[in-house]
Amino acid sequence: MPEIRKHYFLSEYCIIAEERAKRPSDFAGAAEDSGKSGSENCIFCGGEEEKTPLATAVYKNRKIFADTSEERIRNWDFRCFPNLYPALSSVPEHPEHPEIGLHAEPGYGFHEIIVESPLHGRKLEDFSDPELSGLMHVYRDRTCNYITREKILYVSLFKNSGKAAGASINHSHSQLVALPFCPPQVERELKVIREKERCPYCAMFDKEKTSSRLIFENSECIAFTPYSSMGPFEVWILPRKHVSFLGDCKDKTLFALGDILRDVLKSYRKVLGNLPFNHMFYQLFKTPEYHLNLRLLPRLTINAGFELNTGTYINTVSPERAASYLRGDLTPGK
């Protein structure tokens, strides 16, 4: 049973979840991140529905269904089900051996898998407009479904793509972890945002819209390499409209976010090949000061002693240069 443990004296947490060590990987034997690991035995493929927990939300022709123990929905577009090896549990037990003077609490929360296509090997950057719009609606729906639950304070919505980015199954999927606490770095951000007269993300939008770090722009969003990027080719996506979570996004903004995400992924592939990366939504519910943003980080470097020791990252590609590669102005190696 998972357990949430607090740091000795800071409001920082870790989750102890030993069950997760048992999760299988389909990367074994396949060339790492070749994107070609076989579809044999893939439990996320269409037709293999029996191999996962019952789906809590199945999207088919824009309607939502749920599996029952009698019937599993087939021919779906997107399929969401509880992670078989969850980091948190919706019915957690109390920690078995609480230690005096240290804080531990039941590992309450939700951990869901969002399978983005029934087809093995189908990637987000190749999605058609209807597929992309469908996925963005699923992201919004699932965020709203969990962010409004009792005791849930943060919804972490993210994608690990490639083994080096933490994926254990090479079939395109995202994950959602609903937490009973707000992550300390988001708390820290929020404290500073509340001290400012104007939203720093709105100011960032105005600054980056005309900077040399701008990569793409559409009617609703910009994609840019942040001024103090923590790694090569880090990209942030910001909506022009000040919205604090996906639930506040109208359809037009939602699609524009997905569209620019697809553009960034396409240019990653063009410039960097089939690289491992994470994308992560930063969003807060009932916190109008916050400004929704989406961050992408290719996993080209390993956090080593210095980064872990100082929380400071050494980036070997300036964000200005990375942006010119991603826009297509420069070709790597030149």
Binding residues vs Zn ion (CB under 5 A): 39, 42, 44-45, 120, 171, 199, 201-202, 242, 291
Looking at residue 130, what DSSP letter applies?
Answer: H
User: In this structure, how many other beta carbons lie within 10 angstroms of the beta carbon of residue 230?
Assistant: 16
CB proximity list for 209: less than 8 A, separation 6 or greater = 217, 222
Minimum Å gap between C-beta 5 and Zn ion is: 34
- State which residue, 52 or 267, has the beta carbon closest to Zn ion: 52
* Pairing of β 63-65 and β 57-60: antiparallel
- Residue that is written with structure tokens 């019937």 in the block: 71
CB of 291 to Zn ion, least distance (A): 3
* Calpha distance 181→13 (Å, rounded): 9
Q: Of 198 and 334, which CB lies nearer to Zn ion in the complex structure?
A: 198
Cα separation, 65 vs 74, whole angstroms:
10
Q: Which residue lies nearer to Zn ion by CB, 1 or 186?
A: 186
Nearest distance from C-beta of residue 295 to Zn ion, angstroms: 15
Q: Which is nearer to Zn ion, 16 or 199 (CB)?
A: 199
Q: Judged by CB, which is closer to Zn ion: 204, or 265?
A: 204
246-276 as b/e, with b when 16 or more CB fall inside 10 Å? Answer: bbbbeeebbbbbbbbbbbbbbbbeebbeebb
CB of 283 to Zn ion, least distance (A): 12
Nearer to Zn ion, 155 or 204 (CB): 204
Residue 252 CB, shortest distance to Zn ion, in Å, is 18
Nearest approach in angstroms of CB 205 to Zn ion is 7
Dihedral angle, C-alpha 91, 178, 170, 32, nearest 10 °: -110
Identify the CA nearest to 131 among candidates 275, 222, 262.
Answer: 262
In order of 64, 109, 146, 241, 282, the CA distances from 80 in angstroms are 10, 16, 13, 29, 20
Nearer to Zn ion, 7 or 74 (CB): 74
- State the nearest-atom distance from the C-beta of 51 to Zn ion, in Å: 10
